[in-house]
A = this chain, B = another copy of it.
């Protein structure tokens, strides 16, 4: 099975980390392809960044379709472009926020999200609502870290995040924690051990979810909202996106 993980920002060090973590949880028969798009923001920390990462992301989906990819993971906690991607993909496309929240609801009666910047908390709440996970989400907490702080060797990110997770358990009475950034994927097990509670990393959760769906013989339904989009002429710089 071939799973393509798209880190929709263009910071390849993060992409490689994501790929490595994905391979650690994937089945031995699964091939993990981790990429960043050819264009877009170096990190995603606003609605603006999120909107602008989507063309590159969709380009990668199109490329994946052309070479037999079975399913996709969108490795940014805002799940940008998820429904557009589903329209143009045959197999499943799973966002890491989506996968993490669903998985959290299986192992705890409630969860809190611990993310980077407070300006993105509203987006996480919106996703929780959209996926039906709002009822399990006790809180969305920001660490006031930049996404790229997670890539710096000397950053205090692990300590700051772990402390915020601990506060979530106590103050929110959350049963478990959802990590709110793809860049935290490598910290998951260590934090879980430290705080002695389940910590869910969306990258791993999404890989396993895609594997499961493909193995069940299921694909994205092409009957309604996610049917292939109508053929359409695109103009200007985006002409290449015509279908």
Q: Which residues of A contact B (CB under 8 A)?
A: 10, 25, 27, 37-43, 45-52, 54-56, 58, 81, 83-84, 86-88, 92, 94, 98, 102-103, 105-110, 117-119, 121-123, 126, 129-136, 146, 169, 173-176, 189, 192, 197-198, 200-201, 204-205, 208-209, 211-213, 215-221, 223-227, 229-230, 232-239, 241, 243
Contact = CB atoms under 8 A, between A and B. Distances in A.
A49 B232 contact: yes
Nearest to A240: B237
A243 B175 CA distance: 23
A103 B213 contact: yes
Shortest beta-carbon contacts, A-B, top 5: A39-B236, A132-B132, A208-B212, A46-B229, A109-B225
A105 B131 contact: yes
Nearest to A108: B221
A77 to B, nearest CB: 15
Contact of A107 (B81, B126, B219): B219
Nearest to A43: B232
A109 B224 CA distance: 8
Contact of A106 (B42, B52, B88, B92): B92
Nearest to A200: B218
Residue with the greatest number of chain B CB neighbours at <10 A, chosen from A83, A105, A136, A233: A83
A54 B50 CA distance: 11
